[in-house]
Structures are given as C-alpha cells and as structure tokens.
Chains A and B, each alone.
Chain A
Amino acid sequence: MNAEAKQPSPVRPESEPTSAATTVPMWLIAGLLGLLFLGAWYFDARGGWFEAKVYAPYLSLADVQRFQPRTGGPEDVILRGKVLFEQNCALCHNPDGLGKPAQAPPLAGSEWVLAAGVNRLIRIPQLGLSGPIEVKGQVWNLPMAAMGVAYSDDDLAAVLSYIRNAWGNKASIVAGEQVKKVRAELGGRNQPYSPDELKKEAE
C-alpha cells in the first residue's frame, strides 16, 4: 500500500462535470408527439389490436375472418367447399375443374355434375367410381377412390355445391340433408359404382 500511495496519479484536485439547466427544446417535444401519433396510427392500422390470431399480411381480425370459410348462407357453403375441393379433389380434377389428361375427367361443364338431381352425384365421392364413363362426349376409364367417404354430411354437400357452382357451372346447392338420405339408402355398401350402374339410380 505504501508503494501505491507514491504512484504518479495527478494529485491536484479535480472537479467533476456539472449539467446546465437548459430545458428540452420544443422541436424535440413536438417530434416525440408527432412520432407517437404516427406510431399509434401505424399500430392501429396493422397491429390487429393484440389479437393472437392476426398475422401479417392480415391487418385485423375482420380481415382474417373475411378469408375464412364460414357456415351459413349459400356463398359460405361454396367457400367452404372450395377449401375442401382444393385440399382433396384438385389433385386429380385440377383447381380449375378441367381435369387432367389420363388422370381425371373434367368437372366444369360435366353433365354428371350439372344433373338436375343430386342422387347420383352424391354417390360418386361417397363410394368412388370405376368403369368407362362419358363426360362431355369423351370416354374415360380410370378408377376414382371414395374420396368423400370421410366427410361429414355438410362437408360433402359443400364440396358438391362448390363443383356445381364453380368455373361457370350453375346448379342448385346440395344440402347436408340430401347427403344424409343417400348415405342411409346406401346402407353398408362400400363397393364403388360403375357409371352404368349409377345410371340405373334415379337422377
């Protein structure tokens, strides 16, 4: 310690800095208020008000809901059907409903889809289809699996309503009740229909 006392640090007294009392200039306060306003506006416009379901690029909960399939009126049923169709049927029938060569026939403009009654139509996704089928004057012969068997009555009705009303198709909405009735009629059947057999059912 004795040695340290001798070290050559400046021994003369030193004063430490002081601070002046000038106030904060007006432009800074104005800037703060301006930016606060901007920030609040920005948050209001895009922040979704702390809603955990809102992610960019959606701006608010209403915005998100606008893109959600809902259950309600016919447009909602069709929207829901679109989502299901694109998940499960579009792989073969193509999102534009035109089908794919050597994979699946078109649904757009198909007489099977646009038939006045839906008694036959419901049976196709419910059990699948195999055997030669004529769609819009062209004969196809490929198997389709029972793609709709796992759907609830309402969901299958929604898909069919969608394909009956998309891509320029125009036909009645299918109701869940109708699907329920056909399913009851089919009983325990799990063998696919052939188009010829299908034609024997009422339209």
Chain B
Amino acid sequence: MTAIPPTSPLPIDNSCRLPLFTLFGGAAVWLALSSGFGLIATLKFHAPAMFANCASLSYGRAFPAWSHLLVYGFCLPAGLGVGLWLLARLGRVELAQPWLIAVGAKLWHLGVLVGLIGILAGQSTGFEWFELPRAAAVILFLAFLLITMWGFVTYTRRTQASLYPSQWFVLAALLWFPWIFSTATLLLQIFPVRGLVQASVAWWFSGNLINVWLTLAGLASTFYVLPKLTGRPLQSHYLALFAFWTLMLFGTWTGIPAHAALPAWMPTLSGAARVLMLIPALTVGASVILTCRGVKTPCAGGPLCYTKFGAACLVLASVLLAISACPQVSRITDYTWFDHGQNTLRIYGFFAMTMFGAIYHIVPHLVGPDRVCPRWMRINFWFVMPGTLLLALPLVLGGVAQGLKLVDASVPFVAVAKSTLMALRISTLGETMLALGNLIFLFNIVGAIVSYYCSVGKAAYTEATALEPARVKA
C-alpha cells in the first residue's frame, strides 16, 4: 500500500523473455488448434456425416480434444506465464532460472501433445476436463513442478518485501494446481478408486480447476492490469483479500452437480458453495467498478477492454452458477446445455479474455512497443468478444428451454434434441468467430516473437559486419 519508487524494468523483462515466449507462443498455438477441434465438434450437430469414416474426428474425440487443448494447452500455460511475470515485476526481481522454466514450458507442451494424441487415438479417460491419458498427466505434473519451483525461488528472492494482492493469487494458484492435479491423477489414473467415488473425484477436480484455479490465475491478472493501466490504486487491498479467501474457501466445494447419484450431503454442500461463490464474484465486480470509476483511459479494444469484459463475464458466470444451484432450477437445467454454456462463459469470457488482455499488455514489454499492431489487437477483441457471447449465451438459454421440455414427459426425446438445434446453430457461429479471433491472436503473438528475433539477428549481423573493417585495419 505504500508508494515504492519506480525502478527500471529492463533486466526483469530480459529475464522473462525466453520463458514467456515459450509459454505464450505454445498457448497461442494450442488455442487456435483447440478452436479447430471445437469447430469440428459443433459442426457435427449440423452435418453428422462429416468425417464419419474417421474415428479420430468423431464427436466423442473432437470434443475432448477441444476441452483438453483449451484448458491444458491454453489456460494453464497462459496463466503460468502471466503469473511468473507478476512475481518478477511485483517482487522487483529477475526471474530465477529462465532457461529451466523454458525447459519446463517445453515439457508442458510435450505433455499436452501426448495428451492430444492419446485422446485422438481413443485413449481418453472419459472424465470431463480430465481426459488426458496417464502418460500425459505425469508429464504435465512434472513440467508444472519444474516451472512452479522457479516461480517460488523468484518469489523468495524478491527485493520488494511487502506483497501486492496479485502475488497472493499467483502463489495460491501455483500451490493449488499440483494439489488437485496430483490427487486426480493418483485416484483416477494410477490407483483408481472404485465406482462412484471416481465420479466424485473427477467432479471435485474439475470444479477446483475451473472455478478455483482459473479464477485465481485470472484475478491475479485483473488486479494487476486494471490499476496499472488506469494509473489508479487498486480498490482495494481488503476487497482483494476478501475475494481471495472466500474464493478458496467456497470454490473448492463447488464441483458436484445437483443430481449426482451420490449421498445427498455431497450435492447439497456443493449447491450451497455454488451460491456462496456469489460473494467473491460480487467483490471482484465491486473492486473493478471502484478502481475504474471516473477513469478517462480509453478502453478501445486494448488490454483494459479485455480485462474489464473478463471481469463482467466472471460475475455473470457466477450468477448463473448460483442460480443453477437452486434445486428448483437445477431440476430443469441439469443434463442440458446450460452447464456447458456457463463453463464456456467462465473459461472463454472470463479467463481467456483476461489472459488476452494480460498477454497484450506484457508482450510489448518483451518485444518492444511497436511490434504488436494495436489495430490487430482491437480486431482480435471484436472477434473474440462477440464470439464468446454468441457461443455461451445461446447454450445457456437453449439449455433452459431444453430442460423445460425434458421434464415434460409428453415431449418425445428426439423432439427435445431437435429443439436445441437453433441454439446450437448460433453457438456454432460464435465458435467460428472465436476460431478466427484465436487465429488472429496466434498471428499477433507469434508474429511479434518472430519479428523480435529477426531484429535481434539483424542487429547481431550488422554489429558483426561493422566490426569487420576495424579488425582488418588492425
């Protein structure tokens, strides 16, 4: 809370460059690929015969490939990259062992690739958001540890002793993932527990991953980018603290769906926790509004815009989560498109958007300010923002309509399935816009990295050639 004299970020940025390029570059590639699979999956609703003779591209594999690449390919590396940057910048210290972190990042991408191949080959585990086969899970775990370790070393070496809220969120995220991921891997893949216990472990894991981990990593960025770009102090330390503890306290219980065939206390507790998740969400909303109040900084499709939209989606998704926890509502929305819509709103609308904002804020520091074209960054925003809404909201509304028909015994099942087609059509449109937006993101990020290395190479070349005559004379 005390003012700290500005420091030159140059050495810090230099130390972050290699690992962040590796994390962000890979994330951008996986994200674009993930939308490719997403498109294939959603097109199956309209043209079921498409790729019908290719088992790897059947819905049952394309859909898990989409979710696997989205979460493990994009979300985690992006969140890690932003987290490492925050630890270095806020600790006013160079990143520890950037080379080893880069190796960890490569290992991570290898794990994602192994997982993707496994899923396409039909080796998916069948647990939602945890489809990757065992080998991939082990690689990802080791890679995460390698990266996290140096994140913690960076943290302990910090020269700025007092902590800024974003740092708590990053540290919690760095600890949270190994905990939940190792538990899920051990209990589902290595020493599988029996029967329904498997389902409860898988639900617990995915609830923690999506409702807690993504929120921790996303908010670390929100709480940094907003005050940084608006030039105002974060409102406030205590609001952030409140959101931090309530999020972890309630979020970890949220996974079990209302109609799970488990002893009643499990879904009931989960339902209560999902309603309580309103508290951190509203806190974040209040904090964002108070921080940005009266700020004249233009938003204009830049990082600020992405971050604010992300926060709005977090609040909206949390409201939907809370509503669907009420038994009267879940009676209708369970087993429909509703949950999927809510999840996509959270993953794309909140997390991915927040990460886009953070990455568009960070990358210019690494490559130089003029290498990311602001116009293309804006265009990217105008693809992914409407794309997200068109993807998620029809699923949410269509899910309600579908549920109302499902509980009506006089409507045949096929009629129910057919009636969701309109919502699916709109969401296919949204998925297409998102895919285009993700391609633009890929070109922006990879373009910036490539153009940076080109200029470094050119500079080295001119330097070398400029020395030549001098040496000759000597």
Contacts and interface: CB of A to CB of B under 8 A. Distances in A.
Nearest to B224: A17
B265 interface: yes
B224 A35 contact: no
Nearest to A10: B369
B3, B237, B268, B269, most chain A CB atoms within 10 A: B268
A52 B263 CA distance: 5
Given A46-B268, A56-B267, A20 B276 contact: no
A185 interface: no
B375 interface: no
Interface in A26-52: 28, 31-32, 35-36, 38-40, 42-43, 46-52
B13 interface: yes
Contacts of A7: 14, 367-368, 452, 455-456
Given A17-B164, A21-B1, A53-B263, A31 B279 contact: yes
B404 interface: no
Interface string B91-111: 010000000000000000000
B405 interface: no
A49 B13 contact: no
B463 A56 contact: no
Given A7-B452, A31-B282, A35-B275, A20 B236 contact: yes
A42 B369 contact: no
Contact of B236 (A4, A10, A19): A19
Nearest to B14: A4
Contacts of A28: 239, 242, 279, 282-283, 286
B234 A19 contact: yes
Contact of B165 (A3, A9, A15, A19): A19
A55 interface: yes
Nearest to B366: A9
A50 B366 contact: no
A35 B278 contact: yes
Nearest to A45: B268
Nearest to B291: A20
B218 to A, nearest CB: 16
A131 B369 CA distance: 100
B316 to A, nearest CB: 17
Contacts of B44: none
Contacts of A36: 276
B456 A3 contact: yes
A25 B264 contact: no
B409 interface: no
Given A7-B368, A18-B233, A32 B10 contact: no
Interface string B273-315: 1011011001100100010000000000000000000000000
A116 interface: no
A150 interface: no
Interface in B440-467: 452, 455-456, 459-460, 463
B265 A24 contact: no
A54 interface: yes
A14 B4 CA distance: 10
B225 to A, nearest CB: 9
B13 A9 contact: yes
A6 interface: yes
Interface residues of B, number: 65
B179 interface: no
B261 A21 contact: no
Contacts of A10: 9, 365, 369
A16 B4 contact: yes
A13 interface: yes
A132 to B, nearest CB: 44
A17 B233 CA distance: 6
B276 A24 contact: no
Nearest to B246: A32
A2 interface: yes
Nearest to A59: B264
A18, A43, A49, A59, most chain B CB atoms within 10 A: A18
B60 interface: no
A138 interface: no
Contacts of A2: 460, 463
A102 interface: no
B7 A14 contact: yes
Nearest to A12: B8
A23 interface: yes
Contact of B233 (A19, A49, A51, A58): A19
B235 interface: yes
B227 interface: yes
A202 interface: no
B369 A16 contact: no
Contact of B8 (A13, A53, A54): A13
B165 A8 contact: no
A20 B235 contact: yes
A119 to B, nearest CB: 47
A126 B211 CA distance: 60
Interface of A: 2-25, 28, 31-32, 35-36, 38-40, 42-43, 46-56, 58-59
Interface of B: 1-10, 13-14, 17, 89-90, 92, 164-165, 223-224, 227-228, 233-240, 242, 246, 259, 261-265, 267-269, 271-273, 275-276, 278-279, 282-283, 286, 290, 327, 365-370, 452, 455-456, 459-460, 463
24 contacts: A7-B368, A7-B455, A8-B368, A10-B365, A13-B9, A14-B9, A16-B90, A17-B164, A18-B1, A19-B164, A20-B234, A21-B236, A22-B235, A22-B239, A28-B282, A35-B278, A42-B268, A43-B268, A48-B263, A48-B265, A49-B265, A50-B265, A51-B263, A51-B265
8 A-B pairs closest in CB distance: A39-B272, A17-B227, A8-B368, A13-B6, A22-B236, A47-B268, A15-B6, A19-B234
